Amino acid sequence: MNSPDISLVIPIFNEAANLRPLAARIGSALDVCDVSYEAVFVDDGSSDESLDILRDLCAEEPRFRALSLSRNFGKEVAIAAGLDHAKGRAVVILDADLQHPPEAIAKFIEKWREGYKNVYGQRIDRATDPKLRVALTRLFYRLLENFGDVRLPPGAGDFRLLDRQAVDALLTMRERARFNKGLFAWIGFKSIGVPFEVEERATGKSKFNFSRLARFALDGLMSFSSIPLKVWTYVGMGISAFALAMAVYYWARTMLFGVDTPGFPTLVVSIAFFSGVQLISLGVLGEYVARIFNEVKGRPLYLVAERLGGEETSAREVNNTLKT
C-alpha cells in the first residue's frame, strides 16, 4: 500500500456520541483538499460504545483504521500510539469532540505544501473555558517559559499537522511521562501557527478535571525543567545565611544583655517551618526519582488489544501488541 498524503490521528476516550458526526465532518472537510488520507482512531480504553462504533466505521470506510489500547493510558500516550501507526507523509492530530474543526486542515495542508513541517493550530478564543482554568493555564505557561527549556507558542495545542520528518523525530522519543506540547516544540523544524476558532465540545464533557490537569502540568514542568530540583540549593543557602545572621544576633544580645530563657514559641515555630521546607524539597526529589523509576523500568508506552481495518503490521506495532 502506498502511504497516503495525510494520516489523521484521533485519540478517543468515551466519545461514542461524537464519532459519527466526526467521521462525516472529516469526510466532507478532506474531500475538498485534493489529498489521499487515512484516519487512525485510537480508542484509549473507552468504557462506552466507542469501540463498537469504530468497528462499524472501519468496516464502512476503507480509509479508516482503529487501534484499541488495552486500557486507558491517557491522551498523550494515545497520541503517541496513533503516531506510531500513522503511515501518511504528514500527520494531523485532532480531538474527537469536534473542538478542533476539521475544516481548518485545508489551511494546514496549504502551509505544509509551502514547506512548513510543524503547522500548529492556534486558538483564537478560549471563551469556552472556565475562568480559573484560564488563569492557571496562564500561570503554568509563564512558569514553563521562565524555567523550562522549551518555548511554547501562545495558543498552540495538540491540533496540528506534522511532516513525516517531524513525526519520525517524535517517534524516537519514548518517554513515559509525556507532555506532547513540549515535545512538539522541542523537535523544532520550520513551524508556523494557523489561527482557528475553538468550538464547543459537541457532546459530553471534558475528560480533564482539575486534579488531572494539575498532574499534567506537573509532568510538563518536570519533563522540561530541572529548576525545581536545583532551586533547593538556593533556598538552602538563603536559610543558612538567615540562620547565621540569627546566631550572630543572639550571640551579641546575650553578650550585651545576658541570657534570656524564654523563646519556646520561636523554637517550635522555626523547627516546624524548617522541617516543612526540608520535606518539600524531599518531595520534589521524590517526584523526579519516581519519574526516573518509571523511565528505567522500560515498560512499553502502551499495549494494543485490538486492531480494526487496514492489513499491514508495522514492526513497532508487533512490539507493542499483546501476545494472546
CB of 69 to ligand UDP, least distance (A): 9
What the block records as the C-alpha cell of 55 is 468497528
Q: Residues in the chain, how many?
A: 324
Does residue 97 belong to the site contacting ligand UDP (CB under 6 A)? yes
- Round to whole Å and give the CA distance between 289 and 68: 31
CB of 139 to Mg ion, least distance (A): 21
**According to CB under 6 A, which one of 3, 70, 122, 206 is a site residue for ligand UDP?**
206
Q: How many CB atoms lie within 10 A of CB 1?
A: 8
Q: Which cell numbers in the block locate residue 68?
A: 484499541
Binding interface with Mg ion (CB under 5 A): 95, 97, 99, 201
- Cα–Cα distance list, 95 to 70, 157, 162, 232 (Å): 20, 10, 15, 39
**Angle formed by the axes of helices 210-224 and 264-296, to 10°?**
80
Backbone angles phi, psi at 121, to 5 degrees: -75, 135
Toward ligand UDP, which CB reaches closer, 31 or 200? Answer: 200
β-pairing, 304-308 with 191-196? unpaired
CB-CB contact of 188 with 152 (8 Å)? no
Is position 163 an interface residue for ligand UDP (rule: CB under 6 A)?
A: no
Identify what 208 binds: Mg ion, ligand UDP, none; CB under 5 to 8 Å per kind.
Answer: ligand UDP
**Contact stretch for ligand UDP (CB under 6 A) within 55-63, 74-82, 236-244, 282-290:** 74-82
Which residues, other chains included, contact 308 with Cβ-Cβ below 8 Å and sequence gap of 6+?
Answer: 54, 55, 58, 65, 66, 67, 68
Cβ nearer to ligand UDP, comparing 23 with 78: 78
Query: Contact between 95 and ligand UDP (CB under 6 A)?
Result: yes
C-alpha cell read off for 250: 543572639
Give least dist CB 135 to Mg ion, A.
19
**Contact between 84 and ligand UDP (CB under 6 A)?**
no
Whichever of 113 and 215 has its CB closer to ligand UDP, that residue is 215
Which residues have C-beta within 8 Å of that of residue 137, sequence separation ≥ 6? 129
Q: Which of the choices ligand UDP, Mg ion, none does residue 78 contact, using the CB cut-off of 5 to 8 A by kind?
A: ligand UDP
Contact between 111 and ligand UDP by CB under 6 A: the answer reads no
Q: Does 281 bind ligand UDP (CB under 6 A)?
A: no
Strands 37-43 vs 64-69: parallel, antiparallel or unpaired: parallel
Residue 12 touching ligand UDP (CB under 6 A): yes
Q: Does residue 96 interact with ligand UDP by CB under 6 A?
A: yes
**Residue 12 near which of Mg ion, ligand UDP, none (CB within 5-8 Å, type-dependent):** ligand UDP
11 binds, among Mg ion, ligand UDP, none (CB under 5 to 8 A by kind): ligand UDP
Kindly state whether residue 78 participates in binding ligand UDP, applying the rule CB under 6 A. Answer: yes
| Cα–Cα distance for residue pair 99/60, rounded to 1 Å | 24
CB of 64 to Mg ion, least distance (A): 21
Contact call for residues 93 and 166 (beta carbons, < 8 A)? no
15 or 38, CB closer to ligand UDP?
15
Count of CB atoms situated within 10 Å of the CB of 178? 22
For binding to ligand UDP (CB under 6 A), which residues are involved? Answer: 11-13, 15, 44, 72, 74-75, 78, 95-97, 99, 201, 206-208
